[in-house]
Structure 1
Amino acid sequence: MLQKNLLIAIANVVMVWSSFAIGAPNTSEQAHLLPDTGSEPLSLARAIELSLKNNQALAGLQAKAEALGAVPAQVGALPDPTLGLNALNLPTDSFNLDQEPMTQMQVSLNQSFPFPGKRNLKRAAAEYEASAAAKTVLDKRLQVVARVRGNWWQLAYLDRAIEIIRQNQDLMRDFVEIAQTKYKVGKGLQQDVLLAQLELSRLINRRLPLQGMRDASQAELNSLMNVDPIKPIQLPSLPADISLPELPTESVLLQRAVDTRPLLDVKRERIEAARTRLDLARKEYYPDFKLGAAYGFRDTSDSTGRTLPNLATFRLSVNLPIYSKAKQSKAVDQRSSEYFQYKYVFNESLRTIQTEIIRNHALYQISREQVSLYGTAIIPQARQTVAAMLSAYQVNEVDFLNVLNTQITLYNAQINYWEALSNAKQSLANLAASVGSEDLYE
């Protein structure tokens, strides 16, 4: 009776393993249905759409860009004129308007005029800053899309890894039953039972940190979409053919980044803004003008009884930059240093982007080769080895430890496959952002 139960248990393990192995990834069959989290499946395109629509950091930068877009017209306008109403030469003994000939009620209008060219320079500097802010929004979009892609593919990997471990837990429970049955009929060792139980505990231990990582990635993806961080995310089934394209050379991508990366345009605009402010500082050596006109009304007569005429006044004044050594010269020095600072920042940003491209290009190539290696060689070979070991174990030609080790090798390879695929997709997303494209051969 025990021998009959043993054969039934082994047959069940073979059936479970066969169905599990068929679902393992290879180059022609990679689709799988991820665990249901109790919510509608969230496609990558939908996640990107929601993030670009609802991301608060992106919305904040957009509001800032709109605010700076309103600045050029303001700084390029003339200062507001001043209107004055004056009572001149009032006698303090009576405050009578017709007592003294010089008493008058005066209306004045004054307008300041910056030296020619200053307003245009102020407007130009503000326009460069507004343009930089708008392009900062574009670069932030790239970063948001890259983070969404990265977290989405990280979730895909973790979901699949957790599912593989759960399936192997079921398989290990069957192995425990087989080992116990063989031990009872005198064809196995007690250590086989202990080994199977130990591996089952290891699987549980391995699943726990993966679940924690999934919760963290889910929270970050929800945050990018501006939804409740603990909202469950269910991913849809992946397509049967997940492409990992061949990329252009690093030099081609580096040149594309120079031409299209918004962050570099931001730095260029700020260099131009700094150069314009330097030109404006040099203009401050020249004086500004103030024109004014006034009209005085008199309600008095002279000694002959003749009504005195009203009075008109005209003014022209300029400021005198006589403290230029302490003010204007220092301002020029300041703006000159700021100009070079922005040039240094541009060069540093360019080097950082180049480093990011080279690093992510290399990481992508490594992960792409690993995906191919696991899908075409390691996993098929591991399947064949497990099948052979199970067949040999049924007739006592191999020991239980060998069967266990080959099964561990298989599920490790399957998990590593999905991790490599996720890493490749994340590197591709980061590479697209570094180059200046929301997607790169996706």
Structure 2
Amino acid sequence: MRRIIFILLFLNFILSIYSQKHKIEILENIIEEALQNNPQLLAARKGVSAVRTEIAQATAWESPQIGVEFRQTPVQSFPNPLKNGMETDYYFQQMIPFPGKLSAMGNALQNKVSMTEMEYETLKRKIIRQVKSAYYELYYIQRKIQINAENQEFMKKFVDLATQHYEVGMGNQQDILRAQTELSLLINEGMTLQKEERTTKAMLNALLNRPIESEFGFIPDIEVSIPPLTLDELLQLAEAHRPELKAMKFAIEMNKAETRAAKREYFPDIMTRVMYMDMAMTKNDFWSVMVGFNFPLFPWSSGKYTSRVEEKELRVNQSEYELQSMKNMIVFEVQEAFVKLETYKNLMLLYKTTVIPQAEQTLNSTIAAYQTGKTEFLMVIDAYRMTLMAKLDYHMAVMNTMNSLASLEQAVGLELENILDAKSNE
């Protein structure tokens, strides 16, 4: 029984080591980790929270003033104000804003909070796009490394085959040298690809806020399944869901609310004061109440307030033009991403269903012909290179297809599954 337990523990240890060395990186898990740990997003979340605190600051009254005043104290009593004073006044003073001023500013800041939240969503979409781009690039590099390793083994067999043909008089030494040269080029390319892989892994680690030298696992094969999409539907979804548009609409509402708040500055604030007067020379004390107003529209002060209103109205116009500019840019981004997606998707299918099978068939027939002495070794090399390029181009098409899809998702403001859900609910 102890031996069985020991064997099971040993196997579990071996499997854990194997899984660490052959860790599979799933895109959904990577994105979730980025959304939780990316420092840009963490900073943006704190920024949203900070903006929320501005509402309480802007809608609160000014703090009251409490004071004491010593009056009619003889000069001979200086510096003691309590000595022989005739009167001591105690007062409480409060500035009361004109009704509606603070609520208007609070409304403006509430729109600012909503705008900041949409800016956070925009940044989140950007980070997701960057993670996907690096993920798909790593996929392509790892496939190039795989193909390179396979081709090194393949070329070693070519070297042996060319050597055998040379030894029996069916080939020449140039064939051996060509095969050895191709093998050397593949080995050199493999080392270059390893450097590219480390660079891309470092980029992903930075996006995930991992230590830069952290090991990153293997990207599994990508099964591309993209249902038919129409440009008109995507444009409608982008107008409804793109966070940049929502942020700019909130910016317009914020500027309009600030304009209303600026116009309310025309109205006077109210200053109130209650005072208790302690009289030293009489038995009777006194009290008083003061009410005062400020007058913003006096000739020497009105320019400050009218200019502020003018500024806010111009900000509204500026925001409206920026919104229209963003709408135009989004139409372009959606169209560009849509065209690229369709192009690369068709190219990927062409390589998968036609080009690669034909290239492999050509290579196999060329090898068979070389083995029987019916063709030159150079033809084998050419067929091999054609097959190699077809496989690399296929994986590049997969990468470009998925990158185009990621760009389209960012342009629309929704993930593919959400796009499909929105279409089905229409």
TM-score, L = length of structure 2: 0.87
1:58 aligns with 2:31: no
Correspondence for 1:386 among 363, 385, 390: 363
- Structure 1 partner of 2:31: 48
Could you tell me which residue of structure 2 aligns to residue 117 of structure 1? 100
Paired residues, number: 399
Q: What letter corresponds to residue 369 of structure 2 in structure 1?
A: A
Pair 1:370 & 2:347 matched: yes
Following superposition, the deviation at residue 118 of structure 1 comes to 1.4
Question: 1:289 and 1:435 mapped to 2: Cα distance?
Answer: 51
Q: Is the 8 A contact 2:26 2:220 kept in 1?
A: no
| One-letter code aligned to 1:288 | D
Which structure: greater helix fraction?
2
CA distance in 1, matches of 2:389, 2:82: 103
Question: 2:254 pairs with 258, 273, 276, which one?
Answer: 273
Contact kept, 8 Å, 2:136 with 2:403, in 1: the verdict is yes
The one of 196, 217, 225 aligned to 1:234: 217
Task: Identify the residue that residue 24 of structure 1 maps to in structure 2.
Answer: none
* 1:259 CA drift (Å): 0.4
Provide, for residues 263-284 of structure 1, a one-character-per-residue CA deviation record: whole Å limited to 9, x for no partner.
2111111111112112222222
Higher relative contact order by CA 8 Å / sep ≥ 6: 1 or 2?
1
SS in structure 2 at match of 1:285: coil
Establish whether residue 359 from structure 1 lines up as the match of residue 336 from structure 2. yes
Deviation at 1:36, TM superposition (A): 8.6
Aligned to 1:14: none
User: Which residue identity is paired with 1:422?
Assistant: M
Once residues 136 and 439 of structure 1 are traced to their aligned partners in structure 2, the CA distance between those partners, rounded to angstroms, is 21
Q: Which string of whole-angstrom CA distances, capped at 9 and with x for unpartnered residues, describes residues 70-127 of structure 1?
A: 2112211221211122212222223686856xx2221111111222221111101111
- The 8 Å contact of residues 261 and 435 in structure 1, kept in 2 or not, is answered as yes
What is the distance in 2 between the residues matched to 1:252 and 1:324? 54
* Cross-structure match for 1:32: none
- Secondary structure, aligned partner of 1:93: helix
Q: Does 1:293 align with 2:289?
A: no
Gaps of 5+ in 1: 1-34, 302-306
CA distance in 1, matches of 2:324, 2:189: 45
Deviation (angstroms), 1:69: 1.2
- Residue correspondence of structure 1 range 9-158 to structure 2 within 5 A: 38=21, 40-94=23-77, 99=84, 103-158=86-141
Q: Does 1:421 align with 2:398?
A: yes
Question: Alpha carbons of 1:71 and 1:371: their partners in 2 closer, same or farther (altered >3 Å)?
Answer: same
Contact 1:161 1:415 survives alignment (8 Å): yes
Which residue of 310, 328, 333 maps to 2:310? 333
Structure 1 stretch displaced more, 418-427 or 188-197:
188-197
Match of 1:198 in 2: 181
TM-score, length-scaled by structure 1: 0.84
Q: SS state of the match for residue 230, structure 1?
A: coil
- Counterpart-to-counterpart distance in 2, 1:435 and 1:96: 73
Change (3 A) 1:246 1:224: same
Summarize deviations over 1:244-301 as a string: whole Å, max 9, x none: 3134211211110110112211111111111211222222233222111111111213
Q: Please say which of residues 243-252 and 362-371 is displaced more in the overlay.
A: 243-252
Aligned residues of 1:353 and 1:434 also touching (Cα < 8 A): yes
2:285 aligned partner:
309
Q: Give CA deviations for 1:126-181 in whole Å, capped at 9, x if unaligned.
A: 11111111222222222222222222122112111111011111211221222233
Structure 2: runs of 5+ lacking an equivalent: 1-17, 421-426
- Percent identical pairs in the alignment equals 27
More deviation in 278-287 or 358-367?
278-287
- Check whether the contact 1:98–1:298 (CA below 8 A) recurs between aligned residues: no
Question: Is contact 2:70-2:82 (8 Å) kept?
Answer: no
SS at match of 2:268: coil
1:318 corresponds to 2:294: yes
Instruction: Confirm or deny: 8 A CA contact 2:262 2:305 kept in the other structure.
Output: yes
Is 1:410 aligned to 2:387, yes or no? yes
Label 1:168 to 1:391 Cα distance change in 2 as closer, same or farther (>3 A). Answer: same
Residue of 133, 137, 152 corresponding to 1:169:
152
Provide, for residues 200-234 of structure 1, a one-character-per-residue CA deviation record: whole Å limited to 9, x for no partner.
Answer: 23323443443333222211111111101221211
SS at match of 1:337: helix
For 1:408, give the aligned amino acid.
R
Instruction: Label 1:215 to 1:348 Cα distance change in 2 as closer, same or farther (>3 A).
Output: farther
Task: State the secondary structure of the residue aligned to 1:70.
Answer: helix
